[in-house]
Amino acid sequence: MKWMRFRVRTNEESEDIIISYLEDIGLEGAQIEDNAPLSAADKEQMFIDAPELEPDEKDNGIEAGAAYLNFFLEIDDDNMLTVELQDENGEYIKVKKTPEEIESKIKEQLDELRTFSDIGDGTISISVTEDIDWINNWKQYFHKFYIDDVLVIPSWEKETTEDDKKASMVLHIDPGTAFGTGMHETTQLCIRMLRKYVTKDTELLDVGTGSGVLSILALMFGAKHAVGTDLDKCAVPAVKENMENNGIAEDKFEMMIGNIIDDKSVQDAVGYDKYDIVVANILANVLVPLTPVILGQLKKGGIYITSGIINTKEEEVKKAHLDAGLEILEIHHQGDWVSITSRKN
């Protein structure tokens, strides 16, 4: 089986948002190449063929700050590529496209992103590669771990140690093709803030839900109800599966697909002045335009938790909070990442 690879040159900060945007044109899943440094926890999760060579010391020929995103589509006998796209009724259908059509669509999405975000070079290269089983290979790198006293564990592992049995709470999570395991520093920063501010009456809005880690844990912490929004349609089955794995009732968590920043229909569906907490673990370049919009969804006195902020962008996101009239309550750091928590007065 042969696959066509579309390779996009960008920067490390724009990886997630480009992947999300290209989902809209049927490019599902990406292989990421960059030089982002690995934390000690990252290294513990990896298998290294040469033990004397640390993962972040390998020379992969990619300069600091740059990144490449690789998207794969199967080539059929007519040299056509098949993608799943949403029709006018909201149903997903398989559509055949030429490589030139796919490349043109990628360029359109990148040009749109450039209007509000620095995505770097944005050049596209195309090549053909042989069959790769990337869909399941990632599982070998994801093992159970702790966030403070919460045990996070995938379905293919079991609670086996005495420490496992002492955990105050167990989160069963399978990221699948959606983002989010809870392992990343930005997610952990959000989790600690949720644990602090969630009450039994909390109505939560989770912008950029991914696999549902934050909403599911908020409900486990005692929140009354959660609504999630995401650009990626893969979030819907991922969230559903993770809800079932953690015993979360269907009426506790509602998912919506769409861009809350500029889509009025999504804003209307989410609702106004109704959320005690809004949490957004996204990129700084998205948090800046999101912040003034999200004020409409927050109740007076509501808490706004933001993360996904690399430390070089801290002042930029802090300014967005202040410019929107929010009162900054807490700023926390973990590794190179920052969370900013504010209140609507």
DSSP string, 121-182: ---EEEEEEE---HHHHGGGG---EEETTEEEE-TTS---SHHHHH-SEEEE---TTSS--S
Residue 155 has pLDDT above 50, yes or no: yes
> For 309, how many CA atoms within 13 A lie in the half-sphere containing its CB?
26
pLDDT band of residue 186 (cuts 50, 70, 90) is confident
Instruction: Note the CATH number of domain 2-135.
Output: 3.30.70.120
**Span 176-204, average pLDDT:** 83
pLDDT at 183: 64
Stretch(es) of the chain classified as CATH 3.30.70.120 = 2-135
To the question of whether residue 230 is assigned a binding role by annotation, the answer is: yes
122 is in an annotated binding site: no
CATH 3.40.50.150 domain locations along the chain: 180-343
More confident residue, 18 or 154: 18
Does 254 or 181 have the greater pLDDT score?
254
Average pLDDT of 278-305? Answer: 94
219 — pLDDT class (breaks 50, 70, 90): very high
Q: Say whether pLDDT at 202 is over 90.
A: yes
Of the pLDDT bands very low, low, confident and very high (cuts 50, 70, 90), residue 43 is: very low
Residues 330 and 341: beta-carbon distance below 8 Å:
yes
- Is the domain 180-343 a CATH 3.20.20.70 member? no
Question: DSSP E strands: which ranges in 181-233?
Answer: 203-207, 225-230
Worst-scoring range by mean pLDDT, 214-218, 228-232, 314-318? 228-232
- Ranking 12-16, 57-61, 172-176, 208-212 by mean pLDDT, the lowest is 57-61
Q: What pLDDT does 167 receive?
A: 78
Q: Is the pLDDT of residue 4 over 50?
A: yes
DSSP state of 36: P
Give tens-digit pLDDT for 10-40. Answer: 998 888 889 878 988 988 778 888 876 555 4
Q: Which two tokens stand for residue 37?
A: 């440094």
Quick one: pLDDT at residue 159?
64
Average pLDDT, the chain: 84
Percentage of residues in the chain having pLDDT higher than 70: 82
Give exposure, 175-185, as e/b (b: 16+ Cβ within 10 Å). bbbbbbbbbbb
What pLDDT score was predicted for residue 55? 39
208 in a labelled binding site: yes
Tell whether the model's pLDDT for residue 49 goes beyond 50: no
3-state helix, strand, coil in the chain (%, to 5): 35, 30, 35
201: annotated binding-site residue? no
> Would the pLDDT of 296 be above 90?
yes
Q: For residue range 86-120, what is the model confidence (pLDDT) as tens digits?
A: 777 667 788 999 999 999 999 999 999 998 889 99
Residue 264 clears pLDDT 90, i.e. is over it: yes
